[in-house]
Chain A
Amino acid sequence: MSSNEWPLWEVFIRSKQGLSHKHVGSLRAADAENAINNARDVYTRRSEGISIWVVESKLISASDPKEADSLFDPADTKIYRHPTFYEVPDGVLHM
């Protein structure tokens, strides 16, 4: 990346009241305010959202894909962590 480029920002949009912000993509902008404006123009043109978060991409710490085996595979064999052994009483809706 050339030093003349603006920093990269990750954009999170909340689609409606009650839902959480979801990552929708990234863009370049000179600063946070500018990033929100750009996100408004790039990601909410078709009424996709009612709230925007932006965060500079460099501030996000990510897990290392090479460690995926040790981080995530062990959970595969721990079936007891899923609450599937309970009997759901009759009359309990929306489970």
Chain B
Amino acid sequence: MFFFGKKESEIIKTFMKHLDAVEETLLAFRDFMSMYLDGEGDFEALAEKAVEAESKADRLRRSTETMMYSGAFLPNFRGDLLGLIESVDVIADRAETVVRLVNLQKTEFPDDIKEDVKEQVKISIKTYRALKKAIKTMFEDMDESAKCIVETEKLEHEEDELEWRLIRRLFSLDVDRAVKLEVRELIGLIGDIADLSEDASDRVEIILLKRRV
């Protein structure tokens, strides 16, 4: 960060904290899902933890944005960066939504697909981590960032395949149709975490492309 001014370095630091808070939300979500699917442990507490982490991410997003309005970075980049921060923030929102819905609806996941759902959660988080790395490296090493973008896209594709396999399996099972529809909606929302990570990585890609001469 040597070449950035003090204001810029401060913003990047807060943005990195925001990325960490989003990851924290995702990890709480992962633990919650795992405990919930296994049917043991205090998953309510983990739901609480996910909600708290999401609020923390929100606060950090707001303070990053407020700092940016004070005139840090070149204006062209400022707009791109604001868009990127927003697009990362919705990832935490989506994880929180899944946690709240599952906890509220007490969804009955069929035993046959529980392991696959855990796997889906894992890949989604992996996709986010690739995005996180793309953003972290973006400021200092654009080539490395470009590699992470490719990785994000690859993982998102993997998740997508798994998601459709999972839905196909779900609808082949002999369970109540209402349960099928409820679970399918949740699978879609979990898949959103990978999709949204990929969307955010597209924004990073645009930032990099704009700087190509």
Question: Is the pairing of A and B real?
Answer: no
